[in-house]
Amino acid sequence: MLTKTKPAPEGEVLENVSHPMDRFLRTDRLPHIWCSGCGLGTVLSCFTYALDELGLTESDVGIVSGIGCTGRAAGYLNLDSYHTTHGRAIAFATGLAVAKPDKKVVVISGDGDLFAIGGNHFIHAARRNVNMTVLCVNNFNYGMTGGQFGPTTPIGSRGTTAPYGNYESPFNLPYLAASSGAVYVARWTSLHARRLKEAMIEALTIPGFTFVEAVCPCPTNYGRRNKIGEGLDELKYYSDRSVIKHGADPAEGDLLPGNDVVIGRFVHRERPTFLQAYEQQIIDKQHFVKPQGMGKGPHRMSGATSTDRRESS
């Protein structure tokens, strides 16, 4: 078993040292509530580095989250942040994104929030191709409420409401996102921090409904209960089973026991966003006045796109 975080030795505690990404955090709200070994800190960190690389500021981006451990992410980000009701982050974000076409709306929430109680909103926002990025932190259980099984729990895994093991088939999130109409779909684990950040950059840059799944350890409620171990053990467990396959068929993304964890960019395609379609099919044809902010972006964000960055590096 890998060791978990040890207490810092006497005399080595660094006081008042700022993190390079502190400007994106509400430092007055730290420390956060997340457990030691949780993947959420890594995901949040990747997100702030993605914002930094894209040169995005509080004037460009708004964060919406639902309820649960991941739902608290909105409250730690020093941006306009909206912590909504359980499962409704995407629905709220739909109104926000349509009201502010020149801003980027990002939903950060958990697997239970987005795919059980909020599943209907996910598929419809993807179908409409509303301009938003959805970051799902998938830890295979309801962590905040104490480790109940959820819509992504693998068959056989234990949860507090699956004391004999889960026997329901879980969602394959990339497949669900792709078949619902998402224009960008990727999955990484929180161990793949650099690639996860790259995926976030791509997702934030591509106009329309973009989706990134981050497979994350939840040692407190999932890892330990399922004999995977502590946070680092769980990270290693996922990474040992990970196979990077860009352009893989999302149907291969099932996280079944014994399967590889297929990670990478599953989908990248173009189709008109909700507001682009509205503009093309209604506003232009009927010669109506454009809603405020429409056509000003963020269909193309300020700063380089991920493709440009690749070419230049």
From 85-93, 205-213, 233-241, 265-273, span contacting other proteins (CB under 8 A): 85-93
Which of 32, 124, 245, 309: binder of other proteins (CB under 8 A)? 124
Tokens of 207: 């106009």
Smallest Cα–Cα separation from 136: which of 126, 146, 127, 128? 126
295 lies in the site for other proteins, by CB under 8 A: no
Q: At what angle do helices 119-128 and 173-180 cross, to 10 degrees?
A: 40
Contact map string, positions 96 to 115, toward other proteins, x by CB under 8 A: xxxxx-xx-x----------
93 lies in the site for other proteins, by CB under 8 A: yes
30 lies in the site for other proteins, by CB under 8 A: no
48 lies in the site for other proteins, by CB under 8 A: no
Distance CA 82, CA 75 (A): 8
52 lies in the site for other proteins, by CB under 8 A: no
Measured CA angle at 40 (ends 224, 95), to 5 deg: 130
- Whether 80 and 58 have beta carbons less than 8 Å apart is answered as yes
Three-class DSSP labels, 84-145: CCCCCHHHHHHHHHHHCCCCEEEEEEEHHHHHHHCHHHHHHHHHHCCCEEEEEEECCCECCC
Number of residues that bind other proteins (CB under 8 A): 45
CB of 43 to other proteins, least distance (A): 19
Q: Which is nearer to other proteins, 26 or 236 (CB)?
A: 26
Smallest Cα–Cα separation from 250: which of 173, 183, 188, 190? 173
44 lies in the site for other proteins, by CB under 8 A: no
CB of 164 to other proteins, least distance (A): 32
Tokens of 285: 């044809």
From 6-14, 41-49, 58-66, 143-151, span contacting other proteins (CB under 8 A): 58-66
292 lies in the site for other proteins, by CB under 8 A: yes
Contacting positions for other proteins (CB under 8 A): 26, 29, 58-60, 62, 64, 74-75, 78-85, 88, 90-100, 102-103, 105, 120-121, 124, 275, 278, 282-283, 286, 288-292
